[in-house]
Structure 1
Amino acid sequence: MKGKKVIVIAGPTAVGKTAMAVRVAQYFNTAVISADSRQCYREISIGTAKPGAAELAAVPHYFINSHSIREEVNAGIFEKLALQYAEEVWRNNDVVVLCGGTGLYIKAFCEGIDDIPAAPAEIRKEVIARYEQEGLGWLQEEIKAKDPGFYAVGEIQNPQRLMRALEVFNATGRSILEFRTGSVIRRDFEIIKTGIELEKPQLHANIATRVRQMVKDGLVEEVRAVQEFRGHNALQTVGYTKIFDYLDGKISLKEAEELIVVHTRQYAKRQMTWFRKDKEIRWYERGEGLLEDVIQKV
C-alpha cells in the first residue's frame, strides 16, 4: 500500500462533513467511504441524514444503503468492509476519503478493533426492552452494579455503549474491558486526519433546522415503516426513539421534535468529546482551508 492515502473527515452531526467530503473527493476524482453506523441501512434515510441524491451522484459512495435493517452491523464488520472498499478504490486512485461522525468506526478503520463477542439475540432483546421501559437511569445502575470497572471509565451518558457493555456481561459474565487489548494496528497506508467544527450557536442552529426539515420530509412515516425492528441498535438512537414515543401516544409530535433537537445537541457534544481525544486530528472552523491543506499533504 505504499503511496496510498486516506483522508479522514470527522466531526459532529450537522457540521457540514458530507458536503466537504464530496468537494475533496471531486478534487481527487475518488470515492467516499461513509463512517456512519446508521447510513448503511437502506430502510432509514431521513433520520440518518444520508447524503442527498445530488451528493451521491457527484462521487461514488461506499457503506451507504449497503445493508438491510434486518442485519447487524458493528465496528468490527465495518473495519473489514471499509478496508476492502479502500483497496477497491486504490486500484485506480491513490487517495480515498473516509467521512463520518461515528468515532468508533473511524478508530476501527485507522487502528483496528478488539474482537468483542456478540451477545445472543435473546440477551440483546431483553436489554433493549428493559432500557425502553426503564430508561437510561436503569442502564447506568445495572452497569454500576455488574461492571463497575466499565462504569468508572465508560461513556455512561451513551445508551448504546452501556447496552453493549451490559449485553457482553450478561452473555459472558465478564467485563467488556477484559476483551480490550489496547493494541493498535499500524496500517501500511498514510492517514490524514481532519475535522470540521462550528461555534456552538451555529451548530445548534444547524441541528434545529435539520430536525425540523426531517419531520417535514416524512420522518414519522419512515419510523412507522420500521416499527417491527424497533429493537434494532440503529433505531435506539437520536431521531427514532422519540418518534416511537410519539407513535405510542406518550408525547406529542411537537414534544418529540423538541426532544430530538435537545438529544441531538447532546449527541454532538459526545461526538466532539470523543474526537478531541485524538490529537492527530487537525480541526478546521467551518471547514475553511481544509481542502487546500489536504492538497498540500497529498
Structure 2
Amino acid sequence: MPKHLISIVGPTAIGKTALSIKLANYFNTEIVSADSRQFFKEMSIGTAAPSTEELASAKHHFIHHKSIQDTYNVGTFEKEALLCLGTLFKKHDVVIMVGGSGLYVDAVTKGLDYFPEVAGSIRESLNNQLEIEGLPVLQNRLKELDPVSYDSIAIDNPHRVIRALEICIGTNKPYSSFLNKKNINRNFTTTTIGLTAERDTIYNRINQRVDIMVNQGLLDEVKSLLPFKDLNALNTVGYKEIFNFIEGEWTLDFAISEIKKNSRRFAKRQLTWFKKGENTLWFDYETPFEDIIKNINTH
C-alpha cells in the first residue's frame, strides 16, 4: 500500500492546526510542521505555535526544534523533513503535514527549484541599497521586474526580496520564472487539503488572533528578544512591529494595528501561493470534519 501524506495549507488563522490534530487522531498518526516561523523555540506567542495541550494531543515534529541563533533554511528543512517522513512511514501509512509556509510545503511535496548562480556583488549592492534607501525601494524594484513574485513572496522580509531581486538582475529573467520547474518523484503520494473562507472572515479571524496574542503576553515575549532583533528570524510580522513600539517609534495601539494589517497582507500572499496548486482540495473552514474525511478517502 503506497504511503500517503496529507498536506494541510491555507492562510494564517484559518484553523489548519485544529484540522491537522483531528486528522492525526483519526488516522492514529503524527504531524510534520511546515511552518517556518514555528521552528524557533524562542518564538511561540507571535507565531501562534500549537499550545501545550495541542502538542500533547498528537505527536508533532519540527515545532520549536531550532533556536533563532541557528542557521536554518528551506534546503536543510527539505532534507530533514524527508528523513523524518521516511521514519514515520515505517510506522504509519498516513502522515499529516501542516503549515502556511508555501516554499517549505513545496520543498517536501515537489522538491526545490534550481536557481542559476549569480555574481555575489549583486547581493552586496542590494544589501547596501537596503541599508541606505530602505526596503520600500527594493520592493518597488521587484514589483517592476517581477510582479508575480512581488504578489507571492514574503514581501516584508528583506532577505526574500533581495534573493528574488538578485536572480532577476543576475539572469535578466523573473525570479518566478524559475519556480515550479522541478517535480521530483517522491516515494509517497500527497493529498493537499486547502482551508479558506470569505475574505472578510479571514481578516476578522486574523484580527481576533492578534488580540489574543497580545492578551497572552506577546509584548513580554518580544521584549525578551530585543537583544536579537537584527536576526533574520525576528524580521517577521508580530515581532518587528512591537520592536518599533519598544524603541519608541510607534504607540502600542499603532503597532498592534500594523500587526493586523501585515498579517492580512501575509494571508493574501499565502492564498496567492496556494491557489497555484491545481490538485488542492479546497474546503470552507467550517466544513464538517466528516465531509473532509469522506473526500480524502475517495480521492
Indicate the TM-score class for this superposition, using the shorter chain for normalisation: 0.7 to 0.9
- The alpha carbon displacement at 1:130 in A equals 6.4
Q: What's the RMSD between the two structures over aligned residues?
A: 3.2
- The answer (yes or no) to whether the contact 2:142–2:164 under 8 Å persists in 1 is no
> Aligned to 1:174, which of 170, 190, 194?
170
Give, in angstroms, the shift of residue 169 of structure 1.
6.3
Q: What displacement does 1:294 show?
A: 4.9
Please name the residue that 1:270 is paired with.
269
Alpha carbons 1:136, 1:159 under 8 Å: kept: no
Pick which of 50-59 and 131-140 moved more: 131-140
The answer as to 2:297 corresponding to 1:296 is yes
Separation of aligned partners in 1, 2:12 and 2:127: 24
Q: Within 1, Cα distance between the matches of 2:249 and 2:95?
A: 45
Q: Is the 8 A contact 1:31 1:97 kept in 2?
A: yes
1:3 maps to 2
Deviation track 1:66-100 (CA, whole Å, cap 9, x = no partner) reads: 11101122221221111111112111111100101
* 1:164 aligned onto 2:165: no
SS of 2:190's equivalent? strand
CA distance in 1 between partners of 2:163 and 2:41 (Å):
26
Partner of 2:182: 183
1:187-233 Cα offsets, whole Å, 9 max, x none, are 12110111111222222221111101111111111112222322223
Distance 2:47 2:24 in 1: 21
Is it true that 1:54 corresponds to 2:50 in the alignment? no
In 1, the alpha carbon distance for the partners of 2:128 and 2:104 equals 26
The aligned counterpart of 2:256 is: 257
Deviations 1:6-65 (A, max 9, x none): 001100000000000000000111011111011010000000000011110001001101
CA distance in 1, matches of 2:127, 2:41: 22
When residues 152 and 204 of structure 1 are mapped into structure 2, their CA distance, relative to the original with a 3 A threshold, is closer
Structure 2 unpaired stretches of 5+: none
Aligned to 1:108: 107
Q: CA deviation at 1:295?
A: 5.0
Alpha carbons 1:142, 1:166 under 8 Å: kept: no
Give the aligned partner of residue 28 of structure 1. Answer: 27
Take 1:242 and 1:24, find their aligned partners in 2: how far apart are those partners? 35
| % same residue | 36
The 1:167/1:279 distance shift into structure 2, 3 A limit, reads closer
Question: Where does residue 62 of structure 2 map in the other structure?
Answer: 63
Tell me the SS of whatever aligns to 1:159: coil
- 8 Å CA contact 2:146–2:168 kept in 1: the answer is no
Sort the Cα spacing of 1:157 and 1:89 in 2 relative to 1 into closer, same or farther, 3 A.
closer
Distance 1:241 1:127 in 2: 21
**Of 199-208 and 253-262, the range deviating more from structure 2:** 199-208
* Paired residues of 1:15 and 1:203 also in contact (CA < 8 A): yes
Structure 1 residue runs of 5 or longer lacking an equivalent are: none
The alpha carbon displacement at 1:126 in A equals 9.3
Shift, 1:3, TM fit: 1.2
Letter in 1 for 2:293: E
Aligned position for 2:84: 85
How far apart in 2 are the matches of 1:83 and 1:113? 12
Distance 1:269 1:97 in 2: 24
What residue is the counterpart of 2:221 in the other structure? 222
Structure 1 window deviating more from structure 2 (8-17 vs 230-239): it is 230-239
Aligned length: 294
